[in-house]
């Protein structure tokens, strides 16, 4: 379970996140959509303190970190409860696919090499990467690198998986294989908060959609509510821009 309360973040005096509050229930998949530059990625980075919020609290399970008052130990405990999948994969180029999935398990989770390898092999199989376990990142495609990154994050058994535009650097064919990998792990019941421009994917996979604009949550609801019957004018404008012919394409 993730709970964000009154989160605020500024850069150089410009407000990026303005009093954001939201909850993601255990096992729920929530997608954040909205125009570029509206704070979506910053929100994910604040959840695991890659960016330190100016104020607000973040709770994952029983751990709550206050941006203004929590100590490093509390923040570290919170960060360990989330897994992050980045746009740019962030793999170790001098390690094989298997080693990339094992590394954090051994260092952070203090698992034995045998246990880490067993879990890594299982997760690589889930995302269709077992065949390339002995390859290095330079020897595989971008889609395969991203699937490795997903396996690495899931292998840490996080309470919530954060995905930041996981297909933004990929061409359509590679995008499809990554989205299929995410669908596979979603079937395991893992909690997800994802930022995406893949509207079809968000509609099909998500329990809830959050539409953000200018650092604010404008509207949230089920995919049907957001795409078929948006309440807010700004949401309708965004969907009409994406689908000029008819934004209610999913009725």
pLDDT at 244: 74
Task: Looking at the structure, tell me whether residues 77 and 16 fall in a common domain.
Answer: yes
Task: Looking at the structure, tell me whether residues 135 and 170 fall in a common domain.
Answer: no
Task: Looking at the structure, tell me whether residues 70 and 51 fall in a common domain.
Answer: yes
**Domain end: 104, 132, 157, which one?**
157
CATH number, domain containing residue 163: 3.40.50.300
Q: In 127-198, where does DSSP find H-type helix?
A: 142-155, 172-186
Would you write out the chain's pLDDT as a tens digit for each of its 251 residues? Answer: 999 999 999 999 899 999 999 999 999 999 999 999 999 999 999 999 999 999 999 999 999 999 999 999 999 999 999 999 998 888 999 999 999 999 999 999 999 999 999 999 999 999 999 999 999 999 999 999 999 999 999 999 999 999 999 888 888 888 889 999 999 998 888 999 999 988 888 888 899 999 999 999 999 999 999 999 999 999 999 998 887 765 454 44
Strands (E), 14-148: 14-24, 29-33, 55-60, 63-66, 82-85
Domain containing 151 equals: 90-157
Task: Looking at the structure, tell me whether residues 11 and 30 fall in a common domain.
Answer: yes
Task: Looking at the structure, tell me whether residues 183 and 61 fall in a common domain.
Answer: yes
pTM of the predicted protein model: 0.92
Task: Looking at the structure, tell me whether residues 24 and 11 fall in a common domain.
Answer: yes
The total of structural domains in the chain comes to: 2
- From 26, 20, 18, 151, select the one nearest 81 (Cα to Cα): 26
**Domain end: 140, 157, 174, which one?**
157
Task: Looking at the structure, tell me whether residues 8 and 106 fall in a common domain.
Answer: no
Task: Looking at the structure, tell me whether residues 3 and 98 fall in a common domain.
Answer: no
- From 97, 95, 111, select the one nearest 149 (Cα to Cα): 97
For residue 125, the surrounding DSSP H or E stretch is: helix 113-126
pLDDT at 241: 86
């Amino acid at each position: 379970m993730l709970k964000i309360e009154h989160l605020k973040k500024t850069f150089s005096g410009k407000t990026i996140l303005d009093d954001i509050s939201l909850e993601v229930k255990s096992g729920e998949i929530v997608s954040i959509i909205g125009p570029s530059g509206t704070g979506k990625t910053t929100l994910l980075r604040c959840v695991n303190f890659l960016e330190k919020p100016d104020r607000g609290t973040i709770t994952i399970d029983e751990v709550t970190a206050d941006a203004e008052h929590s100590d490093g130990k509390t923040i570290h405990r919170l960060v360990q409860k989330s897994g992050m999948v980045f746009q740019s994969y962030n793999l170790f180029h001098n390690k094989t696919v298997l080693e990339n999935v094992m590394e954090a398990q051994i260092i952070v989770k203090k698992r034995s090499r045998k246990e880490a390898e067993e879990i890594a092999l299982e997760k690589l199989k889930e995302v269709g990467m077992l065949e390339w376990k002995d390859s290095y990142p330079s020897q595989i495609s971008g889609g395969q690198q991203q699937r490795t990154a997903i396996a690495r994050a899931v292998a840490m058994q996080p309470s919530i998986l954060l995905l930041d535009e996981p297909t933004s650097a990929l061409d359509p064919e590679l995008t499809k294989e990554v989205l299929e990998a995410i669908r596979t792990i979603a079937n395991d019941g893992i909690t997800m908060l994802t930022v995406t421009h893949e509207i079809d994917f968000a509609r099909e996979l998500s329990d809830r959609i959050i539409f953000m604009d200018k650092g604010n949550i404008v509207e949230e609801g089920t995919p049907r509510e957001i795409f078929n019957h948006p309440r807010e004018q700004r949401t309708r404008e965004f969907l009409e821009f994406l689908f000029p012919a008819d934004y209610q394409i999913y009725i």
